[in-house]
């Protein structure tokens, strides 16, 4: 069984506000086109995807991979027909037609529609109406309507390809969706369970709801780092890239910035990519005396390359001396500049170990850090 998907994105979509067609507006870090495409790309039973765009938007599709781009028509049904006719030269057994304005479509809904097409020529998700229904006019209730047997239609709406293509060719006028066109041709359409998160973005408030739903599926990582360095002869220590006058220096192969090392390891930890020692082994002479900002920048780049944004970091420096408080703002600012963050998202604080252990005896400094990474 072969299944193709048509994603209809040819409308102007301006009722949602923002001055830009809703399919191209930012939505939880991406646009609705990207969310919808990836939902179908990721599904193992979808073999081919057609993206139908307005002729004015064709240049916006540059870079989309594994997708056929088709120019749509002046109405939704004309755009769907353009997608169907594009598939006709190598027809699939089934086609799922999806509105790009539903970026929250789940793999489960796609699977349920495909499964229903084994026994039915058409299938579509829907939600039973649970609210009381009124008729109204002039701001007043004028009557009620029985909600029994009423459903809120969703997409993707799936069909046997040959049947829905013939139905579109035979249909004249306008239709709310493809189920209406299918039923006009006498096709029976099964109802599968819809999903409240598969909402349609139509009005400005819908963007906020969709954003909350989509952000709920984010990949959030938290990493921890810990490091220690002993004191040696010297007159300053480097912490978070800031030189701090002191009676000793910190001993290490690089600049021994214990705080920045801990933070770097926290980022590597969130990515499950080991630690500084694996990326920059102390046995390698090229890192002798290196600024620890080199290590931190590398960890940040790895996060970005993997699609993560660093949203917050917190570093605690553990020592009896020197005093960290007078330098903490400069430390935060330096770390924020390296990581590309607002200084408000970077925390640096200090504590003592109440004169216990090696830090309490003034033999060195320890640091612990936490980093939060988010992939939309």
One domain, residues 263 and 169: no
Nearest-angstrom CA–CA distance, 179 and 166: 13
- Mean pLDDT of residues grouped by 10 in the chain (376 residues)? 92 60 84 90 92 90 81 94 97 97 94 97 97 95 95 98 98 93 98 96 87 79 96 95 95 92 97 94 87 95 91 96 96 95 94 94 96 86
Give the contacts of 37 (CB within 8 A, at least 6 positions apart). 7, 49, 51, 64, 67
Q: Residue 68: what pLDDT?
A: 94
One domain, residues 174 and 52: yes
Of the three residues 178, 199, 215, the one that is the final residue of a domain is 215
Q: Are 40 and 114 in contact (CB under 8 A)?
A: no
Phi, psi of 363 (to 5 degrees): -95, -10
Burial profile 112-121: b = 16 or more Cβ within 10 angstroms, e = fewer: bbbebbeebb
One domain, residues 84 and 149: yes
CATH number of domain containing 41: 3.90.550.10
How many CA atoms within 13 Å lie on the side-chain side of 64? 22
Domain tally, the chain = 2
Q: Residue 220: what pLDDT?
A: 87
Q: Residue 63: what pLDDT?
A: 67
Say which residue the tokens 């390296």 belong to. Answer: 338
Of the three residues 215, 241, 271, the one that is the final residue of a domain is 215
Q: Are 254 and 290 in contact (CB under 8 A)?
A: yes
One domain, residues 208 and 332: no
One domain, residues 180 and 274: no
One domain, residues 277 and 183: no
Of the three residues 178, 193, 215, the one that is the final residue of a domain is 215
One domain, residues 273 and 357: yes
One domain, residues 206 and 343: no
Give the contacts of 56 (CB within 8 A, at least 6 positions apart). none
- CA-nearest of 161, 159, 152, 153 to 188 is 159
Q: Residue 23: what pLDDT?
A: 87
User: Where in the sequence is the domain holding 296, given as residue range(s)?
Assistant: 219-375
Q: Residue 130: what pLDDT?
A: 94
One domain, residues 129 and 277: no
Q: Which residues are paired to 110 by β-bridges?
A: none
Q: Which residues are paired to 51 by β-bridges?
A: 7, 69
- Using only the alpha carbons of the chain, give its radius of gyration: 29
One domain, residues 156 and 248: no
Q: Residue 13: what pLDDT?
A: 56
Q: Residue 18: what pLDDT?
A: 54
Say which residue the tokens 């910035």 belong to. Answer: 257
Nearest-angstrom CA–CA distance, 296 and 271: 13
Q: Residue 214: what pLDDT?
A: 83
One domain, residues 287 and 359: yes
CATH number of domain containing 285: 3.30.1330.50
One domain, residues 167 and 297: no
């Amino acid at each position: 069984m072969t299944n193709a998907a048509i994603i209809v994105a040819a409308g102007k979509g301006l009722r949602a506000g923002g001055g830009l067609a809703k399919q191209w507006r930012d939505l939880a870090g991406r646009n609705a086109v990207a969310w919808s495409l990836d939902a179908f790309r990721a599904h193992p039973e979808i073999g081919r995807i057609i993206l139908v765009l307005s002729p004015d938007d064709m240049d916006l599709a540059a870079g989309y991979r594994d997708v056929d781009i088709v120019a749509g028509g002046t109405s939704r049904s004309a755009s769907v027909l353009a997608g169907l006719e594009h598939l006709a030269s190598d027809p699939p057994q089934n086609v799922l037609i999806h509105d790009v304005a539903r970026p929250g479509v789940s793999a489960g809904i796609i699977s349920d529609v495909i499964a229903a097409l084994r026994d039915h020529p058409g299938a579509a998700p829907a939600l039973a109406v649970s609210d009381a229904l009124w008729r109204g006019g002039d701001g007043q209730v004028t009557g009620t309507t029985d909600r029994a047997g009423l459903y809120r239609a969703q997409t993707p709406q799936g069909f046997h390809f040959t049947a829905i293509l013939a139905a579109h060719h035979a249909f004249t006028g306008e239709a709310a969706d493809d189920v209406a066109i299918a039923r006009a041709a006498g096709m029976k359409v099964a109802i599968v369970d819809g999903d409240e998160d598969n909402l349609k973005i139509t009005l400005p408030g819908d963007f906020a709801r969709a954003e909350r739903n989509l952000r709920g599926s984010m990949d959030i990582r938290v990493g921890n780092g810990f490091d220690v360095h002993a004191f040696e002869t010297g007159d300053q220590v480097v912490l978070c890239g800031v030189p701090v006058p002191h009676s000793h220096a910190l001993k290490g192969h690089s600049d021994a910035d214990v705080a920045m090392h801990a933070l770097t390891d926290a980022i590597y930890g969130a990515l499950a990519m080991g630690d500084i020692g694996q990326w920059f082994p102390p046995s390698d002479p090229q890192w002798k005396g290196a600024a620890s900002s080199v290590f931190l920048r590398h960890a940040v780049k790895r996060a970005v390359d993997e699609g993560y944004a660093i949203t917050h970091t917190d570093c605690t420096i553990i020592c009896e001396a020197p005093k960290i408080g007078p330098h903490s703002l400069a430390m935060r600012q330096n770390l924020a500049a390296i990581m590309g963050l607002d200084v408000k998202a970077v925390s640096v604080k200090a504590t003592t170990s109440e004169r216990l252990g090696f830090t309490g005896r003034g033999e060195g400094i320890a640091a612990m850090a936490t980093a939060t990474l988010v992939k939309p």
